[in-house]
Amino acid sequence: MEDSEIVRLFRERDETALTEVSRKYGRFCRSIAEKILKSYTDSEECVNDAYMKAWESIPPADPKILSAYLGRITKNLALNRLKAERTEKRGGVQTAMSFDELDDCVSGSDSTENAAETKEMLAAVNDFLGGLPKKSRLLFVYRYWHYYSTTELAAHFMMSEHNVTVALSRIRKRLKAYLRKRGYDI
């Protein structure tokens, strides 16, 4: 079923919408949750919660890209769940998911940009990603949006872990250079 059709069902409060969403995007959402929660049961719950959130939010929300909309809800719920579990005793989500490689990319300073600057920088990042070859873009998004490990990426793309690591490293370097050229520093 087309996304627009599913959204229409949501709007008409037709519960078939949930069945269709589950059929079409269930695995995708579960994949997102599992990468964060590392638990099938927790992920299932999280995905069901995401459906409910979607049910509550559409309408008034009118998502143009349903997969991304559901993906974002799922990811936020999964991160919140993880945070609730680990924040106090282990220092939060960052401990659970290591992104050591970002040390060479971000400055580490806690300088916060204003909303307008952030928006502009995000637009630049989107431009950058849009200009990448598809595979590079997928690598980047799987790693930093979906939180795939390099091992998972290697299996997914049939690459060696070394190649994944190096490819990601180059993308980060290019991103940094790209942003610097435009006056941003991360």
Binding site residues, another protein, CB under 8 A = 25, 27-28, 31, 64-65, 67-69, 71-72, 75, 93-94, 99, 102-103, 105-112, 118, 121-122, 125-126, 129-130, 132-139, 141-142, 144-146, 156-160, 162-164, 166-167, 169-171, 185-186
Our CB check for another protein shows the closer of 55 and 184 to be: 184
Our CB check for another protein shows the closer of 10 and 147 to be: 147
- Residue 73 contacts by C-beta under 8 Å, 6 or more apart in sequence? 50, 53, 54, 57
66-99 residues labelled b (16+ CB within 10 A) or e (exposed): beebbbbbbbebbbebbeeeeeeeeeebeebeee
Q: Are 73 and 54 in contact (CB under 8 A)?
A: yes
Our CB check for another protein shows the closer of 112 and 114 to be: 112
Scanning the structure block, which residue is given the tokens 């579960």? 30
Query: C-beta of 98: minimal distance to another protein in Å?
Result: 9
Compute the distance between CA of residue 94 and CA of residue 131 in angstroms, rounded to an integer: 29
Query: C-beta of 42: minimal distance to another protein in Å?
Result: 20
Our CB check for another protein shows the closer of 18 and 105 to be: 105
